[in-house]
Structure 1
Amino acid sequence: MTDVAPDPAATPSSSAKLVNLPNALTMLRLAVVPVFAVLLMQDGTVDDADRYWAALVFGLAILTDRYDGMIARRTGQVTEFGKLADPIADKALTGTALVGLSVLQLLPWWVTVAILFREVAVTLLRFWVIRHGVIAASRGGKAKTVVQSLAVGLYILPLTGLVASARWWVMAAALLLTLVTGLDYVYRALTLRRTSVRAMRAAAARRADGPTGTSDARTDTAA
């Protein structure tokens, strides 16, 4: 698990406005979560048409995830809010889908619990280190999102036969990526808390105070 070199285009801009198109797409993705939930759970999805509509709404919502980030980077509209809200919107959408699929007995509960535990843990990690900086999505995290979305979409669709059997392998790949990237985020969070500007300043202040609480300039100079 290695850190990905920061993308200059993904660095939050001090001139970027909070109200912009990328952030609007992120909020739209959050807004359609209840609509998707109703379509997925309506009448226990006994009607295949409902499943197709739910899959369509899910797919369109996932597309907003693709384009809000792309637009933000290309137009210099990356904001701290967007970097934090974007993964939360993703988790709300996929979490609703996973729980719904398990309620409908289309997906084992242990898969849903494992994935949601990782997603909640990563979200808490982001808030834990928010004073030190924002942990941007890694390449592994983005790959996880793509495979996870594909797997969920396949489970939402009323598939039968070989394709229905093959979707389990896609979900297994998504589960593996979910767990591996979760460990990577733990490593990155711990590294950020240790190496951020805030952490370095705090460490320098402790060294300056010394063991007796007074500055030891001669020791620092000699070192």
Structure 2
Amino acid sequence: MNIANMLTMLRIAIVPLFVLALFAADGHDTGWRIGATVLFAVAAITDRFDGQLARKYGLVTDFGKLADPIADKALVGAALIGLSMLGDLAWWITIVICAREIGITLLRLVVVRRGVIPAGRGGKLKTLVQTLAIGVLLLPLSGGFETAGMALMYLALVLTVATGLDYVGQAVRVWLAGPGRAKES
């Protein structure tokens, strides 16, 4: 157990607290929504730091490789599902984003024996825009702020689909290259 893994564990522990805050007082109480947003922000920020710490100080572990993406998907999935349950986000958006995340995770498991596809800039941008969109939509805002949040969410949706398709293409190339060859290139 190192600091990077402890931050990942903290992020996992924040998810149920975030959900409780999001749904408190019927999900639309200003104070609870701000609290849920703060918890979401803390978890999102720790995601940034745990990866940097792990790489910079050689703290990368098998546990971290497994737990970090689980923590990410649990947080984003809980936020999207919660917002949809509260009527603040269309279900189709939640379904598309969650289906992409689950599908790519399963694809990674299939392809990993033939090679690893590193996270690219597009995936990092997708995560950033998803996080910003969710953060804005969690806040008890209306008018132009709500519109801006939805615009960010639509951008996140486009990036989610585009990077998902790109990842599928990369996975096909790795698979066709055969075991071991993709790791050499």
Q: How do 1:3-152 residues align onto structure 2 when only pairs under 5 Å count?
A: 19-152=1-134
Instruction: Report the alpha carbon displacement of residue 130 of structure 1 after superposing the two structures with TM.
Output: 2.7
Partners of 2:67 and 2:159 lie apart in 1 by 21
Call closer, same or farther: CA 1:94–1:52 in 2, change over 3 Å: same
Q: Which has the higher helix share?
A: 2
Amino acid at match of 1:151: A
Which range is displaced more, 152-161 or 78-87? 78-87
2:160 alignment partner in structure 1:
178
Call closer, same or farther: CA 1:147–1:165 in 2, change over 3 Å: same
- Structure 2 residue 140 is the aligned partner of structure 1 residue 158: yes
Runs of 4+, deviation exceeding 4 Å: none
Call closer, same or farther: CA 1:20–1:134 in 2, change over 3 Å: farther
Partners of 1:196 and 1:86 lie apart in 2 by 27
Amino acid at match of 1:186: V
Instruction: Report the alpha carbon displacement of residue 28 of structure 1 after superposing the two structures with TM.
Output: 1.7
- Asked whether the 8 Å contact 1:151–1:174 carries over to 2, the reply is yes
Count of aligned pairs: 182
Structure 1: gaps (5+ residues): 1-18, 201-223
Provide TM-score, normalisation by structure 2.
0.91
Residues 148-178 of structure 1 show CA distances to partners (whole Å, capped at 9, x for unaligned) of 0000011100002211122111111100000
- Asked whether the 8 Å contact 2:80–2:134 carries over to 1, the reply is yes
Partners of 1:74 and 1:171 lie apart in 2 by 32
Please identify the structure whose Cα radius of gyration is greater.
Answer: 1
Partners of 2:104 and 2:8 lie apart in 1 by 18
Instruction: Report the alpha carbon displacement of residue 136 of structure 1 after superposing the two structures with TM.
Output: 3.0
Partners of 1:101 and 1:157 lie apart in 2 by 11
Call closer, same or farther: CA 1:190–1:84 in 2, change over 3 Å: farther
What is the Cα-based RMSD across aligned positions, in Å? 1.7
